[in-house]
Structure 1
């Protein structure tokens, strides 16, 4: 197991290195002079003269070759210096840590709610396959995947905030502020996970060990909890990891709509303000999130599935 996880860690470090190169290079290969675009974003639309652009380039090291700029930036990041925002003039480090915390809170609440709802629903539908509840779940799953997050978020805000006045429509600080964004993200994941649990359980119910357990007179609840669910746990962990990563995609939209101060809304704001140092760090943080989630899922699957350990 240690060897497998070591290989995955090395692969993840290489992938993160390549992502950092891509994110750094793409911003500098965009049309227009990089230094002039940055300076223009700080001057409220006033066109800078050539002398100001040259001075700004020299002060920030933009005259150096791209490999030199990248190595200098990477060295600063590795030592904890994430740079300075060109818009606020403040260090990126303090703000990015707060944003990561808020995004993690929202992601954990969403995936937790999705699992709490999806697993029981999937188990119920597996025991009543072809019934009314099963058909309703199928329809709800298709609807949840088809409805865009931004439209669904606006509908919930219109209903629960503007019409009923039960929940705040934006901001953070209390549990009430997290309800609507959590519902939006969790709803799309619930149908996918529930359908997956149903399909895997139906497959398990046809195996010989389930028939043996029934022949011994074990109750359906015991068969489900002690036999069927443990066997689908590795694949359920894998799917949960994929959905957790997918939650970060949805959070970019949801955080912006509900003004939740997470990494997604920060990325959108930095893109609109052309705050390139902040954009680079946001890309790097999101890539780290994906990689860490994949590593954690690999570790949990290895622990949960003895067959994986035997194959190592």
Structure 2
């Protein structure tokens, strides 16, 4: 197991290296001189003179070959230096540290809420396949997967904030502020998870060991919860880890609409301000978080199911 996990960790490190290279190259591939583009973003689109561009390039090392620039930037990243914001003049890592906690809080709340909704819905659909409950819950799951996050967020804000006045329409600081953002993000993953749980449970319920358990006189609920459910846990956990990408997609929109001070909103602010060091750093942090979450999922599955330890 230790060998397999070490190989998985090495592959994750290689993937992070590729991600850092992609994030670095993404901005360097912009049309025109990179230093000139950065100066124009700070001068409200005014074209700088060649002397200013040359001085700016020399001060920031943009006059060096791209491989040398990448190695210098990567060395800074490894030492905890993600660059300096062109807007605030402060280290980028400070801006990210202030926002990362709020995003992690929202993401975990939305994930737990999504699982709390998806697991019983999927189990009920599997317990009564083809019935009215299965069809109704399947329809709701499809609707939840189909509604765009921005539209659903606006509808919830209109209903619960403006019409009913039960919840704040935006902000941060109290549990009430988290309800609407977490509900919007959770809904986007609930349908996917519920349908997957249903499919996995139906497959397990058709296995011979389930028929044996039923032949022994065990109730349907006990067979479902005690025999089938533990065997689908690794597959559901794997899909849950993959859904983190969808969670972050939702967070970019939801944090912006509800004024949640997270890293998704920070990325939008950086894009609007053309703060390229901050854009590059947020891209790297988010992608790294996704890789690390899936690595943690693999480790948990290996601890839970010994059969997977040879293939992690």
Deviates more, 1:172-181 or 1:302-311: 302-311
- Aligned position for 2:4: 4
- Aligned position for 2:89: 89
Instruction: For 2:39 and 2:238, locate their aligned partners in 1 and report how far apart those are by CA, in whole Å.
Output: 45
Deviates more, 1:215-224 or 1:18-27: 215-224
1:126-145 aligned at under 5 Å gives the runs 126-145=126-145
- Aligned position for 2:245: 245
- TM-score computed with the length of structure 2 as normaliser: 0.96
Instruction: For 2:127 and 2:153, locate their aligned partners in 1 and report how far apart those are by CA, in whole Å.
Output: 33
Instruction: For 2:245 and 2:204, locate their aligned partners in 1 and report how far apart those are by CA, in whole Å.
Output: 27
Say whether residues 1:215 and 2:222 are aligned partners: no
Instruction: For 1:97 and 1:78, locate their aligned partners in 2 and report how far apart those are by CA, in whole Å.
Output: 16
- Aligned position for 1:236: 236
Instruction: For 2:90 and 2:205, locate their aligned partners in 1 and report how far apart those are by CA, in whole Å.
Output: 59
Instruction: For 2:217 and 2:126, locate their aligned partners in 1 and report how far apart those are by CA, in whole Å.
Output: 20
Offset at residue 89 of structure 1 (A): 0.6
Q: Tell me, what secondary structure is at the counterpart of 1:101?
A: helix
Instruction: For 1:146 and 1:81, locate their aligned partners in 2 and report how far apart those are by CA, in whole Å.
Output: 40
- Aligned position for 1:204: 204
Structure 2: gaps of 5 or more residues: none
Instruction: For 1:211 and 1:7, locate their aligned partners in 2 and report how far apart those are by CA, in whole Å.
Output: 39
Q: 1:13 to 1:84 in 2, by over 3 A?
A: same
Structure 1: gaps of 5 or more residues: none
Q: Tell me, what secondary structure is at the counterpart of 1:168?
A: coil
Q: RMSD over aligned Cα, in angstroms? A: 1.4
- Aligned position for 2:275: 275
Instruction: For 2:165 and 2:53, locate their aligned partners in 1 and report how far apart those are by CA, in whole Å.
Output: 51
- Aligned position for 2:19: 19
Offset at residue 124 of structure 1 (A): 1.3
Offset at residue 311 of structure 1 (A): 5.7
- Aligned position for 2:183: 183
Paired residues of 1:16 and 1:288 also in contact (CA < 8 A):
yes
Say whether residues 1:43 and 2:43 are aligned partners: yes
Q: Tell me, what secondary structure is at the counterpart of 2:235?
A: helix
Paired residues of 1:245 and 1:293 also in contact (CA < 8 A):
no
* CA deviations over 1:163-222 (Å, ceiling 9, x no partner): 222111122111111111111110121111111111111111111111111122222332
Deviates more, 1:211-220 or 1:180-189: 211-220
Q: Tell me, what secondary structure is at the counterpart of 1:256?
A: helix
Instruction: For 1:177 and 1:222, locate their aligned partners in 2 and report how far apart those are by CA, in whole Å.
Output: 39
Offset at residue 96 of structure 1 (A): 0.5
Say whether residues 1:298 and 2:295 are aligned partners: no
